[in-house]
Amino acid sequence: MLVVMQEGAEESQIQRVIDRLVSMGFIVHRSSGIMHTVLGGVGPVGDVDPIEFEVMEGVKECHRIVSPYKLASRHFRPGGTIVRIRDVEIGGNQVVVMAGPCSVETRDQIEEIAGVVARGGAKVIRGGAFKPRSSPYSFQGLGEEGLKMMREAADRNNLLVVSEVMDQTQIPVLSAYSDILQVGARNMQNFNLLRELGQIRKPILLKRGISATIEELLLSAEYIMSGGNYEVILCERGIRTFENATRNTMDISAIPVVKSLSHLPILADPSHGTGRRDKVLPMARAAVAAGADGLLVEVHHDPDHALSDGAQSLRPQQFTELMDQLRLIARAVERSV
Ligand code: PEP
Ligand code: MN
């Protein structure tokens, strides 16, 4: 159930609607926009007639939401969500670039790459400390030690940090060092993890699963939001198809589709999306042209010796080139980088 209050509705009127929804068995989520307050009632819609709410004072309109996700739906926040972390706004006019190595490897490595991405204009450094590797014999990440190194490198370069959380037990350590917690493709439907992330108050970067539909992606966002954490950033990172010329098939069309179905910001990851550094620039350009709110890009100062995903990691000079190109594309779609 979605109740849109009139512009300037009084707090007492809003409260009466909340009380009514609660008495009918709904859990109420409130979104206070610039113009309107929207109340999302999650619960037994059954045979509730929207008119019951529309006749209440201060109510503009009421709808029964038929989509399986409610809080992630565009109706809940028609104006879109902006996730603000310090002076960075994700989902606003600026296209936010998050860049860095696949994995944090050594102190020197992360220091050097932090300098490269900061000089290029990235706002956030990425890097895995807990790595979901397809093989148990591959490098698994440096854990807390890696997070500490990345935090220090980020602070020296005025960058925010995003890093992956693989299970519930890692939430405290990730929260201590990272500004954004990433849920990887393999964990998009780890519902216990998603529920726990709904209980914290840190932004979550939720990547699309390798064979997940857009609806499943939005339902996973709903798991986090239904716990009260509304700061979810989505990420298209390529899906598995019959095509094997690239590591995954980058679903650029997911960007405008998500934009119309949901108010949540969406990023694109052309590195995992293609698996090849020579294809990262064109797909990055396409993603920004299609309306992505930002990019997640792998960059390494020495990709030939990277411990993971070297083939898809940009060299420093390619990253600079990418940022120069994005500035042109962003201008064409009335945004900035
Ligand atoms: C990553 O971004 O480091 C990563 C492992 O990506 P994905 O979960 O999309 O495979
Ligand atoms: Mn990677």
CA-based nearest residue to 194, from 183, 202, 208, 209: 183
Closest atom of ligand 1 to 184 CA is 8
- In the chain, beta strands by DSSP E: 2-5, 27-32, 37-42, 59-63, 83-85, 88-90, 96-100, 124-126, 160-164, 180-183, 204-207, 232-236, 266-268, 294-298
Closest atom of ligand 1 to 208 CA is 9
Measured in Å, residue 148 CA sits from the centre of ligand 1 at 20
CA-based nearest residue to 96, from 301, 330, 319: 330
CA-based nearest residue to 165, from 132, 135, 133: 132
3-state secondary structure of 194: helix
Closest ligand (CA of 311) = 2
Binning the chain into helix, strand and coil, the percentages to the nearest 5 are 40, 20, 40
CA-based nearest residue to 286, from 309, 255, 320: 255
Q: 5 with 16: CB under 8 angstroms?
A: no
In the numeric block, the tokens 């890009």 are attached to 297
Q: What residues are in contact with ligand 1 under a 6 Å CB criterion? A: 102, 128, 132, 164, 184-186, 207, 237, 272
Measured in Å, residue 73 CA sits from the centre of ligand 1 at 25
pTM strictly above 0.85: yes
What residues flank ion ligand 2 with Cβ within 5 A? 102, 309
User: Atom 9, ligand 1: which residue's CA is nearest?
Assistant: 185
pLDDT tens digits for the chain (337 residues)? Answer: 999 999 999 999 999 999 999 999 999 999 988 889 999 999 887 778 999 999 999 999 999 988 899 999 999 999 999 999 999 999 999 999 999 999 999 999 999 999 999 999 999 999 999 998 989 999 999 999 999 999 999 999 999 999 999 999 999 999 999 999 999 999 999 999 999 999 999 999 999 999 999 999 999 999 999 999 999 999 999 999 999 999 999 999 999 999 999 999 999 999 999 999 999 999 999 999 999 999 999 999 999 999 999 999 999 999 999 999 999 999 999 999 9
